[in-house]
Structures are given as structure tokens and as C-alpha cells.
Amino acid sequence: MTIKERYRRVLDLFEAAMPVAETELHYDNPYQLLVAVILSAQCTDKRVNMITPALFEAYPTAESMAAATAEEIYTYIKSVSYPNNKAKSLAGMARMLVEKYHGEVPSDIDSLMALPGVGRKTANVILAVVFNRAAMAVDTHVFRVSERIGLTTGSKTPLSTEKALVKYIPEEIIPKAHHWLILHGRYVCKARRPECLDCVLTEVCRYYQKNTGKNN
């Protein structure tokens, strides 16, 4: 099986198994998604969704959050991982949105990555989800799943994984493929105990074939 054939088959299997695939973070607008994605770093979406209703009620706009101190924001997010750093990032991010972008979330990767608390992964999530761009955000799930099933081989960094995925996945489905890989890693292809018996990709999965000796 060539690498192109592997990608085509994986994408076909995902499409059949998950015709609808989207972020599990709760949000109503680009500002709220940006806040939620910043909070989700090294934290579960479930935990983030527990705290954002009160946070968004207190700070419904970038302008309202920009007027708050990091200490005030902290009281709403203290149950997430690294709340002190994230509170500072959110305060700085909101101020920059107001000062440079009239409170609107920018639509290019460089401007997004200039915001406090926003790295390449977060920027790509915003580009894919909000603006439907062909941007592949690589988190731990995407990195792990891509390597296991054979979409990448010996990838050492999220950026190298991103480049490989973007090279072979058709542009128009990259935003959806991002969610396929995340959700598959979150619920099936788990880090310590992958649930291979519940997996729709075993026929093409390098990890499964190596560990079971089966080659469907």
C-alpha cells in the first residue's frame, strides 16, 4: 500500500464512521472559541466546558475581558491546569484583540500567534474551525494517531506531522480530518490502552498489524 493509498483509505473509513466531526468545546463566537482553546491546553475539553459558562457570562466580549485583571479572571478558571499562566494569557490576549483588531479575532496565522497564549496549534484550531481554512492543528492525539496508523513515520515534532498531513490530505477536508484524528485519539486510540477491538482502522493500522500479527 502506497502512502497515498493509505491516506485515501483512512479518510474513507473515517468519513463512513464519523460523517459529523467537530470540536467538543462549547462556544458561540470566535472570541469564545479562542478563550476555550487557550484554556484547553493540557486540560480536557470537558473541564473547560464546565467553567466557560460563568466565564463568558462575566466577560461576554473581548472588551469586557480586556478590562479585567488576570487576578479577576483567575477566580473563574482556577480549576483548569496552569490557571495563573492562563489568566495572564487571557487578559493579555483580550487587550491585544481590542487594541489591534477592534475586538475581532484575526484570520491569519501570524496575527493569531502574536496573541498571548496562542501557539501554532491554537492558531490552527481557530483557522480551521472559525474560518474553515486548510489548517491542521497537531495536538498529542493527532501526533500519536498519525504515527500509529501510518500516516507519518518517525515524526519527531508536531510541525513535521502537520506538514505530512497537509501534504496528503485534500485541502477541503483538512478541517474535518483534524477532528477525526483528535476524536479517534481521545476515545479509541488512547495513549496507554488503545481500544483496537473498537477501531474502524485496523485494516490499515500499522500499530494493530504489528502488535497482533494480523494483516487484514
* Catalytic (active-site) positions: 121, 139
Quickly list H helices, 59-82. Answer: 62-66, 70-77
Question: Between the CA atoms of 73, 76, 79 and 81, what dihedral angle is there, to the nearest 10 degrees?
Answer: -30
* Three-state DSSP class for residue 139: coil
**How many other CB atoms are there within 10 angstroms of residue 215's CB atom?**
9
Q: Residue 187: enclosing H or E segment and its boundaries?
A: helix 174-187
Phi, psi of 68 (to 5 degrees): -95, 160
Which residues, at least 6 apart from 161, have a Cβ–Cβ distance to it below 8 Å? 138, 142, 143, 146, 147, 152, 155
Q: Are residues 134 and 175 in contact, defined by beta-carbon separation less than 8 angstroms? A: yes
**Which amino acid is present at 48?**
V
Measure the CA–CA gap between 198 and 183, rounded to whole angstroms: 13
